[in-house]
Amino acid sequence: MPEAKDEEVGRRLFQIHKEKAVEVALEKIRRKMPSEWKSFTSADIDILKHFLGEVWVCVKRSEWDSISFSKLTKGDLEEIILAAKQVKNKEKLENVAIDEVCTMIISKE
């Protein structure tokens, strides 16, 4: 029984780290573009948050830490949200969308 408990603790810790990383990224974005940020709906922000979490899972921590989230534009965020919606609507494979978003945001230096 203790193994299952340890696995659950590990899963929960992973989830907490992911959520924290995404919140930090979103805060950097919000601070950079406060007026543009207000133009996004809560549904857009939720899907952006979820998809950034999926990106976090797929990239090395060193890559994630080097991403300049404050350099993302409103257009970049709209592209990420569109990719996430395409995945949700099964118009695009998740791994393809994640690769595209990773390429876009990692190149923002």
Q: Shortest CA distance to 40 belongs to which of 71, 100, 85, 1?
A: 85
Segments making up each domain of the chain, as ranges = 2-106
Whether pLDDT at 1 is above 60: no
What pLDDT shows up at residue 6? 83
Structure tokens at 41: 């709906």
What pLDDT shows up at residue 3? 65
Helices marked H in 1-109: 2-32, 34-37, 42-58, 61-66, 74-88, 94-106
Distance (Å, rounded) from C-alpha 74 to C-alpha 32?
10
8 Å CB contact between 78 and 86? no
Distance (Å, rounded) from C-alpha 48 to C-alpha 37?
12
**pTM of the full structure:** 0.88
Higher per-residue confidence, 108 vs 99: 99
- How do residues 43-94 score in pLDDT, each as one tens digit? 999 999 999 999 999 999 999 999 999 999 999 999 999 999 999 999 999 9
